[in-house]
């Protein structure tokens, strides 16, 4: 039994539909009892959690920005450096073969995680590069003046700016679908935008989960609406993969991107899934070594996907860490993890809402373990600084989602985002630190 296997209940999770995964609702085991989750056993796997900051035990609540790393990931990267350092695909010596096996094995692990074929997995530096690849290689060749790309008001800048760049080059337009005061996407407005745009709409891009306020979009319904008009869909899954099982076939989208560092893996590595027929139609975004079939001064022919999109020496050690992170998650009862994180978020909402002068931003009924808030009379950056002095790490700012902040009428929020290793005691430490900030400002 692995070290992580004993951290959760072995009870089966039967009858859980994708709607539960998308909707973020609590999961119960057989007979309606909560599924057990041993958070203390899990915390032992994360060395970074066991330290003090400014004389206080670290309370790490900045997981939507990046997560701490389990020993399995640290050891996988270290093991590669110590024993298998070499380049991939081109060598015939033993270390080169080991490095290649590590790299291609990680591709199979990503494929298993998303329920896809390995040939549909493109390694990238992360979600941002993956979306840029789709924008540059799939959408740009199809764009003409007057065409449109549809996004939502809740998108991360990485799911706005790449579309703006290619649309600006082509004389096309990026259109944003509105959200309501809770942070819920207006599906009627989306349907209207698709109907109005017709064949001019070349892509619909949507985040699975909002990094700013935690809204979980009904991706499957969104895809159905888009495909009814022949519009492909790109999903930013950076916040979803760490929190819920993802089955891209069930979602029905055309592209799905995620980052390793938000899912307990290393920075600088991520993946793009694309339908095989789409990838085969796309030119490479970069040229260089290993992405070619043949090169001469008369011209170059490119390799088949996914190699076509992986020019140069890749982040091989990063793929080792990414595979270890996904294996770590796969070794846990994901339903129990999800229920634990939802309970933490609900506890945080209850604690913060009970503090006079604290206002939650984004109150969608379907939400992940992300809680954004503002405090009367205290700038979000000051909230973050004061909390850090008490060892509580949160994010403060616009969260690379300035349009969403403007929609909510704020310049910035304080954001607490939870992971599988957080505890209810840490939620209470968050609330106590916010009260302390109010006392310091006389609020």
Integer Cα distance of 66 and 77 in angstroms: 17
pLDDT for 3: 41
Average pLDDT over residues 86-99: 95
Integer Cα distance of 422 and 151 in angstroms: 32
pLDDT for 37: 82
pLDDT band of 11, cuts 50, 70, 90:
very low
pLDDT band of 51, cuts 50, 70, 90:
very high
pLDDT band of 344, cuts 50, 70, 90:
very high
**φ, ψ of residue 92 in degrees (nearest 5):** -110, 0
Could you tell me the maximum CA-CA distance found in the chain, to the nearest angstrom?
Answer: 73
Integer Cα distance of 244 and 368 in angstroms: 9
Integer Cα distance of 177 and 191 in angstroms: 10
By CB atoms closer than 10 A (0-12, 13-18, 19+), residue 432 is: middle
Orientation of helix 334-353 relative to helix 424-441, angle to 10°: 20
Indicate whether 13 pLDDT > 60. Answer: no
In the chain, where the domains are located? 5-68+333-441, 73-329
CATH, range 5-68+333-441: 3.90.1150.10
Contact 185, 152 (CB under 8 A): yes
CATH, range 73-329: 3.40.640.10
400 included as an active-site residue? yes
Task: Count CA atoms within 13 Å of residue 363 on its CB side.
Answer: 10
Indicate whether 22 pLDDT > 70. Answer: no
In DSSP terms, which residues pair with 207 in a beta bridge? 236
pLDDT for 21: 28
Tokens matching residue 143: 């764009």
Integer Cα distance of 341 and 64 in angstroms: 13
- Of 16-30, 131-145, 377-391, give the lowest mean pLDDT range: 16-30
Integer Cα distance of 342 and 155 in angstroms: 22
Indicate whether 86 pLDDT > 80. Answer: yes
Tokens matching residue 262: 């938000």
The angle formed by the CA atoms of residues 193, 196 and 197, to the nearest 5 degrees, is 80
| Mean of pLDDT over the chain | 92
Indicate whether 12 pLDDT > 90. Answer: no
Per-residue pLDDT tens digits for 157-185: 999 999 999 999 999 999 999 999 999 99
Choosing from 400, 411, 432, 443, the catalytic residue is 400
- Tell me which long-range contacts 11-18 makes (C-beta under 8 A, separation of at least 24): 11/35, 11/36, 11/333, 13/333, 13/334, 13/335, 16/335, 18/220, 18/247, 18/250, 18/251
Whole-structure pTM value: 0.92
DSSP letter string, 173-223: EEEEE-B-TTS-B-HHHHHHHHHHHGGGEEEEEEESB-TTT-BB--HHHHH
Indicate whether 402 pLDDT > 90. Answer: yes
CB atoms within 10 A of CB 19: 12
Exposed e or buried b per residue across 286-310, where buried means at least 16 C-beta atoms within 10 angstroms of its C-beta: eeeebbbeeeeeeeeebbebbbbbb
């Amino acid at each position: 039994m692995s070290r992580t296997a004993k951290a959760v209940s072995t009870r089966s999770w039967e009858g859980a539909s994708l709607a539960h995964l998308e909707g973020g609702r609590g999961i119960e085991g057989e007979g309606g009892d909560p599924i057990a989750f041993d958070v203390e056993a899990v915390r032992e796997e994360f060395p970074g959690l066991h330290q003090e900051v400014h004389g206080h035990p670290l309370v790490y609540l900045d997981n939507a920005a990046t997560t701490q790393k389990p020993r399995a990931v640290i050891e996988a990267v270290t093991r590669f450096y110590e024993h298998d350092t070499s380049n991939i695909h081109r060598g015939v010596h033993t270390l080169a073969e080991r490095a290649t096996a590590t790299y291609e094995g990680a591709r199979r692990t990503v494929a298993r995680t998303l329920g896809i074929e390995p040939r549909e997995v493109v390694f990238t530096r992360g979600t941002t590069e993956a979306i840029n690849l789709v924008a540059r290689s799939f959408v740009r060749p199809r764009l003409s003046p007057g065409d449109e790309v549809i996004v939502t008001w809740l998108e991360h800048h990485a799911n706005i700016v790449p579309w703006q760049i290619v649309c600006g080059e082509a004389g096309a337009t990026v259109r944003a679908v509105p959200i309501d005061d809770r942070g819920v996407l207006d599906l009627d407005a989306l349907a209207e935008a698709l109907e109005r745009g017709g064949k001019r709409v070349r892509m619909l891009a949507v985040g699975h989960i909002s990094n700013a306020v935690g809204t979980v979009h009904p991706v499957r319904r969104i895809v159905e609406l888009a495909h009814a008009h022949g519009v492909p869909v790109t999903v930013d899954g950076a916040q979803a993969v760490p929190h819920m099982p993802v089955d891209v076939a069930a979602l029905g989208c055309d592209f799905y991107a995620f980052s390793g560092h938000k899912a307990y893996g290393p920075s600088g590595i991520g993946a793009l899934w694309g339908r095989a027929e789409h990838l085969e139609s796309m030119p490479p975004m970069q040229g260089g070594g290993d992405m070619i079939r043949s090169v001469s001064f008369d011209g170059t022919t490119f390799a088949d996907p996914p190699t076509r999109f992986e020019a140069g020496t890749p982040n091989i050690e990063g793929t080792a860490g990414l595979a270890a992170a996904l294996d770590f998650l796969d070794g846990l009862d994901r339903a129990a993890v999800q229920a634990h994180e939802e309970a933490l978020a609900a506890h945080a909402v209850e604690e913060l809402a009970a503090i006079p002068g604290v206002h939650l931003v984004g109150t969608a009924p379907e939400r992940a373990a992300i809680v954004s808030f503002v405090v009367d009379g205290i700038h979000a950056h000051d909230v973050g600084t004061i909390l850090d002095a008490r060892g509580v790490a949160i994010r403060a700012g616009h969260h690379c989602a300035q349009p969403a902040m403007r929609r909510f009428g704020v310049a910035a929020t304080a954001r607490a985002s939870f992971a599988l290793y957080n505890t209810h005691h840490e939620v209470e430490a968050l609330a106590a630190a916010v009260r302390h900030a109010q006392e310091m400002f006389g609020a």
